[in-house]
Structure 1
Amino acid sequence: MYKKEKLVENKFTWPICKDLLFLVLEDRVSDVFVCELVWERLFYTKELSINDWAFSALTPSYWSEKFEKAPQIISERPASIHLTRSIPKEYKQGLKNFLNFKGYRINELYPRRTRRATAVNWLIYWAIENDCFSKDSGLMPSPSSPPVNPVKGHFGDPQIK
């Protein structure tokens, strides 16, 4: 997928581990946080001058040609679809096979939830493909409570489109 030299040079804010992925699935981190996990691994970089994330020379062309700025993977359907399509077939069952995740109940399904599951599945694919899973859950974000209104998300999350 990516050359190891590129990964070594890049510093990721949070290592990918099972506990972190479950925080995403349990809605205990914001949509913004989830997007940033994916954006870093797609090599989008935070541009302070424009207060936004933009593609870099390392961003795969599959992404940079469609999204100059890092896409809102959770709130925007086209970005979520693009993420789903970027997962190779042999990794499509990552949630089930790697995390033993049984899925959501029917009354828990709404766009935010399914898009978060897609992001987790992509992160599983990325971490396996790049041999970047952390066995240590030491560095973890502070979990928050799930949002009061799970359809809208956490305070500060972009509106679902």
Structure 2
Amino acid sequence: MSNLPPLNTETIWAILNDQIDNSVVHQLVWHYLGYRYDSATGKWDNQLVQAEWRDEYPEPPNFLESRPATMKLTRSIPKENKQILKEKLGFKGYKIGEFTPRETRRATAANWLLSHLQITQSKIE
């Protein structure tokens, strides 16, 4: 997972525009939630994961296939960042009838990642 793209707006747009593979989207979210894969043991290390995630998901969930995990991800976005894709990137969303649950879940992952980026940058400033 050391070859992840940087967490920036270009990466967020690439997720929204389906230019990044699902596995990379997962790895990004897992990484920023705190999950680390230990290739020596072949197991996930979740010591950096907040208890609210670690208790329910000792191993990282598949956000693009699991509605409950995606809902938890959505709920974990602070209220002030719920519309961050629209406010910061001008993302208009997908057209009604032309999007799939997969695209909606990718947008949720992108929203969570952009929110995480915003929170992280605010702490630095």
* TM-score of the pair, normalised by structure 2: 0.88
Partner of 2:82: 92
> 1:49-128 alignment to 2 at 5 Å?
49-50=41-42, 54-128=44-118
How far apart, CA to CA, are the structure 2 residues paired with 1:110 and 1:84?
A: 17
- Which protein shows a greater Rg? 1
2:119 aligned partner: 129
Pairwise CA distance, 1:56: 2.3
**Whole-Å separation in 2 of the counterparts to 1:43 and 1:64:** 9
Secondary structure at the residue paired with 2:103?
helix
Consecutive unaligned residues in structure 2, runs of 5 or more: none
Matched to 1:23, the amino acid is: A
- Which letter maps to 2:109? A
Alignment of 1:27 with 2:18, yes or no, is: yes
Any unmatched runs of 5+ in structure 1?
Answer: 1-10, 133-161
Asked if structure 1 preserves the Cα contact closer than 8 Å seen for 2:15 and 2:106, the reply is: yes
**Aligned with 1:106: secondary structure?**
coil
> What is the percent sequence identity of the aligned residues?
38
Contact 2:25-2:109 at 8 Å conserved across structures: yes
- Aligned-pair Cα RMSD in Å: 1.8
User: What is the deviation of 1:110?
Assistant: 1.3
Give the structure 2 partner of residue 142 of structure 1: none
Instruction: Kindly provide the CA deviation profile for residues 24-64 of structure 1, in whole angstroms up to 9, marking residues without a partner as x.
Output: 001111111101001000110113233x5x24221111110
Higher relative contact order (CA 8 A, sep 6+): 1
Quick one: distance in 2 between partners of 1:89 and 1:96? Answer: 14
Task: Report deviation, 1:76.
Answer: 1.1
**Where in structure 1 do 4 or more consecutive aligned residues deviate above 6 Å?**
none
Alpha-carbon distance in structure 1 between the residues aligned to 2:58 and 2:107:
24
